[in-house]
Amino acid sequence: MSVQTVEAVVSRLREDQLLKGPLLVNWHAGEPLALPPQFYRSRIPAFTPLANDGIAVEQSLQTNGILIDDAFCELFQEFNIAVGVSVDGPAFVHDRERLTRAGRPTHARTEGGMSKLRAHGISFNAICVLTDFSLQHPDAIYEYFRDSKVRAVAFNIEEIEGVNRTSSISNHGYNDRFRAFLERFWTRVEGDGGVLQVREFDDMEARILDRHQRRNSQTDPFVNLNVAWNGDWSTFCPELLGVSFPEYPTFMLGNVHHGSMRAALATEAFKRLYFDIQAGVDACRSECAYFEVCGGGNPSNKISENGSFRSTATINCRNRILVVGDFIMDRIEERICARKSHPALDRAEEKISVEP
């Protein structure tokens, strides 16, 4: 992505007045550190006009960690870039799936990158993909992240989405095994006093206890703006950026070098995408008891698994919403019954007393 394209993104955001609050810039998709630190040094300043407008801009990136060295650590510190490392736990789990193109294991190299981060005092999060195999090893995975000094871990259930056309978790009984994994992980987190944060636990608790946390960024247009290297852009789920389906040859809605983003709202391409996604949200609203904490799921999962945005349940929502939602609701009820003091539970009790 050229400097001119980054500048054009910023100009479109300002001219179309698309920003009301903070902007999170996430350098994602592919391996962002395949580009040298100078790439980011010459592009991040393009966001300065937004800061001058009073818009808080945060930078983040997701990396496999292999290429992290001292120069990248200095870059992260210079621009306060939040770093997420894709690592699936200890080597015997990680190296089953994450191999080089030549088929070699990558865990030791990812570990090398994480050591650099620790040596520079940079805290980081991890994204851990859960496969059928990982679910058998909650203790090993917990201990790995705790001992790696990871600030927070997020679990990505292996999905049928975008270019990933199969999943090891679509087989029968996965939901029960996922629940058992969560139960064991929760026990270990509590046992160590919560030194490791878990996105799934915190996010679901917030969704249950606070209705303001329930916005679904995947179904509302322009919450996510997804821009490709050449300035082509789309919205809704980032995974739609590089895929196509027979009824949707492209999800691109424009190019930052040519025309306003607001103008795209009037195009047939946007209207069709929007109304198809909203039909799926409406179907979820009328069919699913979990709609309040979900908001209608992930359109990219729906079209990848069910062949239509106008559909409802997917493997992803059964795990991420139903299994996690039931699990966290059980924990909340247990704590309330035990009358344990906990700030989140005090809020829950308050809400339950005014919102029967």
β-pairing verdict for 232-235 and 57-63:
unpaired
Query: Could you give the string, one character per residue 118-147, with x where binding to ligand SF4 holds by CB under 6 A and - elsewhere?
Result: ------------------------------
Nearest to 1 by CA among 227, 248, 280: 227
Contact between residue 103 and residue 137 where contact means Cβ atoms under 8 Å apart: no
Residue 345 interacting with ligand SF4 (CB under 6 A) = no
Pick between residue 62 and residue 218 the one whose CB is nearest to ligand SF4.
218
Taking residue 327's Cβ as centre, other Cβ atoms within 10 Å add up to 18
Residue 294 interacting with ligand SF4 (CB under 6 A) = yes
Pick from 312, 319, 323, 331 the residue near ligand SF4 by CB under 6 A. Answer: 312
Q: What are phi and psi of 58, to 5 degrees?
A: -115, 145
Q: Map residue 121 onto helix, strand or coil.
A: coil
Give the residue nearest to ligand SF4 (CB).
297
Instruction: Give the interface segment with ligand SF4, choosing from 63-71, 146-154, 245-253, 290-298 (CB under 6 A).
Output: 290-298
Nearest to 130 by CA among 174, 64, 189: 174
Contact between residue 226 and residue 238 where contact means Cβ atoms under 8 Å apart: yes
Residue 222: left if φ>0, alpha if ψ -120 to 50, beta else—which one? left
Residue 329 interacting with ligand SF4 (CB under 6 A) = no
Nearest to 115 by CA among 87, 94, 81: 87
**Residue 203: both structure tokens together:** 């996010």
Pick between residue 74 and residue 292 the one whose CB is nearest to ligand SF4.
292
Pick from 155, 201, 291, 327 the residue near ligand SF4 by CB under 6 A. Answer: 291
β-pairing verdict for 225-227 and 254-255:
unpaired
Pick from 317, 328, 345, 348 the residue near ligand SF4 by CB under 6 A. Answer: 317
Residue 290 interacting with ligand SF4 (CB under 6 A) = yes
Pick between residue 44 and residue 313 the one whose CB is nearest to ligand SF4.
313
Residue 327 interacting with ligand SF4 (CB under 6 A) = no
Pick from 297, 300, 303, 310 the residue near ligand SF4 by CB under 6 A. Answer: 297
Pick from 93, 204, 241, 313 the residue near ligand SF4 by CB under 6 A. Answer: 313
Query: Could you give the string, one character per residue 270-289, with x where binding to ligand SF4 holds by CB under 6 A and - elsewhere?
Result: --------------x---x-
SS3 content of the chain, % helix, strand, coil (to 5): 50, 15, 35
Write out the residues near ligand SF4 by the rule CB under 6 A.
Answer: 284, 288, 290-291, 294, 296-297, 312-313, 317, 321-322
